Amino acid sequence: AFLFTLSLSFSAPVVKIGFVDQQKVLENSKMGQNMDKQIKALQEAKQVKIEGMEKELEELDKKIKNKELPLKEQIREEYKKERRKKEIDLKYYVEEAYEEGNQVGSKLMRKFDEKLKGIVKKVSEEEGFSLVIEKTGIIFYGNPEFDLTDKIILELNKITE
């Protein structure tokens, strides 16, 4: 019997997997910090207006409840009517402010996600990564050698003023 041995070597493709901590990028990149400042500025502006509207309500309450002020019942009823209207206005303003905040936040997040994906693709191609995963999704452990987060922050900061 004749024994013929054929040795074939197949090289499996090298797969390099990395991960990015999106929350860390959001918190530590200039773009993420600018987004946070924009959202906080909007919230503060809305809060100032809300506090002003609440103060108007308090002033009307004082006028309505002030027994020393000799008001005719008709005038007192007009104050109550005005107070109810202002209370409704305040309620609507708060709802609109909340909705606007959500819309602005969503818009900024979409822009951030677009930029992040582009930077992750660029860094991944430059570093030879086959797959990059978001860290908080499914990774229980990740060797820091494969953590691209800091590189992503540096690249994102290069394109953000």
Neighbours of 84 (CB within 10 A): 12
Model confidence, pTM: 0.71
d(CA 131, CA 20): 11
Identify the band that residue 1 occupies on the pLDDT scale cut at 50, 70 and 90: very low
User: Looking at 37-51, 99-113, 118-132, which range is the least confident one?
Assistant: 118-132
pLDDT in tens, 52-96: 999 999 998 888 887 666 767 788 888 889 999 999 999 999 999
Residue 11 has pLDDT above 50, yes or no: yes
Tokens at 31, concatenated: 């773009």
Whether 86 and 53 have beta carbons less than 8 Å apart is answered as yes
Residue 22 has pLDDT above 60, yes or no: yes
Count of residues making up the chain:
161
Residue 2 has pLDDT above 80, yes or no: no
Percent of the chain with pLDDT over 90: 47
- pLDDT for 134: 85
Continuous H helices in 67-130? 73-127
**30 half-sphere exposure, CB direction, 13 A CA radius:** 8
Residue 152 has pLDDT above 80, yes or no: yes
